[in-house]
């Protein structure tokens, strides 16, 4: 039987180095990730790249040209940080090691920082992942699976089980309008709290490109959409699928017009089977959603709509790099963070300077180059 990649020695080939790391070595790691060298630095003010004047006591440099002082984290998402460098490395490692996400309280206990510090640190990582998600169209030589999953807004179970009338179910799932608009939760057979929770439910539509026969997904995208309907699927297909793509979905009517937008479209009826005898399925999407849902229930204990796209991009990144060796995955994460600009959504978060709105598919469509 083939060994699972999480049981291989490559999945843990970096842990001992991190456990024995000193603060000086951690600073050198961060400098190497940012500038590609430990003996030369790039001034974030004037851009001069050379060996600048070292101020060892404050762990800073003074620019040889403009005389500005800077540290290894100046101008990065960690600008103005107070954490020791070795704790930053340990938080990177804690985030990277979680196959199904990383609990804030567990990370704070492991590193010795406050949960608030871990929350902002992980939030900055997810912000980078939102902007780092590859938006090049999927398809071509490999099959693409496409499916939607619903997250958030899960109602609390009642104290006693009871048979729910058909009329209440139709009101609950939006098939019929309630007669009493002031108290619709009564006709739906729900409590007021559970009715309010419905407003938090969102749909995430994922596109998973195969890496080859029995290799799982090779590249993944996922977006928070307004619904699983034809309009959203059409927008996704036009912008993120190649015209020659071969796409597999379930039998939902949302994908009924997909055949006109791609070369081949196959469906599987989940009411009867998970996969057809010809191999038609959307199991790569189901695999992504299973990890995502285990994180929602078991690790993070829920998502809020405001940051659901951030968590979605986190699991896209985990899925795309899941089979990389631990040291390679760690370096990708650290280099990406140390070369990113300052944070716009998490700098000053606990002082009230945070993102106010949800983001989703429209945010990524605005990033695409204009076709005009």
Tokens representing 291?
């990890």
pLDDT of residue 372: 43
Tens of pLDDT along 84-140?
999 999 999 999 988 899 999 999 999 999 999 999 999 999 999 999 999 999 988
Tens of pLDDT along 24-43?
999 999 999 999 999 999 99
* Whole-structure pTM value: 0.91
* Domains of the chain and CATH, by start: 135-150+201-321 (3.30.420.10), 166-200 (no CATH)
List the single range of 189-198, 201-210, 284-293 with lowest mean pLDDT.
189-198
CA dist., res. 301 & res. 362, Å (int): 27
* Cβ atoms 307, 239 nearer than 8 A: no
Average pLDDT, the chain: 92
* Residue position matching structure tokens 């083939």: 2
Residue in 206, 358, 231, 226 with CA at minimum distance from that of residue 284: 206
Give the containing element (helix H, strand E) for 206.
strand 202-210
The Cα angle at residue 112 between residues 109 and 115, in degrees rounded to 5: 65
Q: Is 147 helix (H, G, I), strand (E, B) or coil?
A: strand
Cα dihedral: 288, 289, 292, 296 (round 10): -170
pLDDT of residue 164: 85
pLDDT of residue 135: 95
Q: Is the pLDDT of residue 219 over 70?
A: yes
Tens of pLDDT along 43-81?
999 999 999 999 999 999 999 999 999 999 999 999 999
Arithmetic mean of pLDDT, 205-231: 93
Arithmetic mean of pLDDT, 195-217: 91
Q: Is the pLDDT of residue 285 over 70?
A: yes
């Amino acid at each position: 039987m083939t060994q699972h990649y999480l049981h291989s020695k490559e999945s843990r080939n970096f842990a001992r180095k991190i456990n024995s790391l000193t603060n000086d070595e951690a600073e050198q790691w961060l400098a190497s990730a940012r500038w590609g060298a430990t003996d030369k630095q790039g001034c974030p003010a004037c851009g001069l790249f050379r060996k600048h004047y070292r101020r060892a006591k404050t762990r800073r440099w003074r620019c040889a040209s403009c005389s500005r002082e800077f540290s290894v984290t100046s101008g990065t998402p960690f600008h103005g940080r107070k954490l020791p460098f070795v704790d930053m490395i340990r938080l990177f490692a804690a985030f990277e090691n979680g196959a199904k996400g990383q609990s804030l309280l567990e990370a704070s206990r492991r590193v010795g920082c406050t949960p608030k510090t871990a929350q902002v640190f992980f939030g900055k990582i997810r912000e980078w992942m939102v902007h780092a998600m590859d938006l090049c169209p999927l398809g071509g030589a490999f099959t693409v699976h496409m499916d939607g999953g619903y997250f958030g807004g899960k109602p609390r179970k009642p104290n006693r089980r009871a048979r729910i009338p058909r009329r209440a179910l139709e009101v609950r799932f939006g098939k019929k309008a309630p007669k009493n608009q002031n108290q619709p939760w009564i006709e739906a057979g729900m409590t007021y709290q559970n009715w309010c929770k419905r407003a938090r439910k969102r749909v995430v539509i994922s596109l998973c490109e195969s890496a080859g026969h029995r290799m799982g997904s090779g590249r993944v995208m996922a977006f928070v959409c307004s619904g699983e309907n034809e309009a959203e699927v059409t927008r996704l297909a036009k912008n993120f699928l190649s015209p020659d793509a071969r796409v597999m979905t379930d039998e939902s009517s949302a994908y009924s017009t997909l055949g006109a937008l791609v070369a081949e479209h196959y469906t599987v009826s989940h009411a009867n089977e998970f996969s057809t005898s010809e191999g038609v399925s959307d199991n790569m999407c189901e695999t992504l959603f299973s990890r995502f849902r285990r994180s929602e229930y078991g690790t993070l204990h829920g998502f809020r709509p405001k940051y659901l796209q951030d968590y979605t991009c986190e699991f896209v990144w985990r899925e795309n790099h899941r089979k990389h060796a631990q040291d390679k995955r760690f370096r990708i994460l650290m280099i990406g963070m140390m070369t990113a600009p300052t944070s716009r959504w998490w700098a000053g978060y606990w002082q009230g300077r945070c993102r106010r709105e949800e983001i989703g598919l429209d945010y990524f469509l605005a990033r695409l180059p204009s076709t005009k």
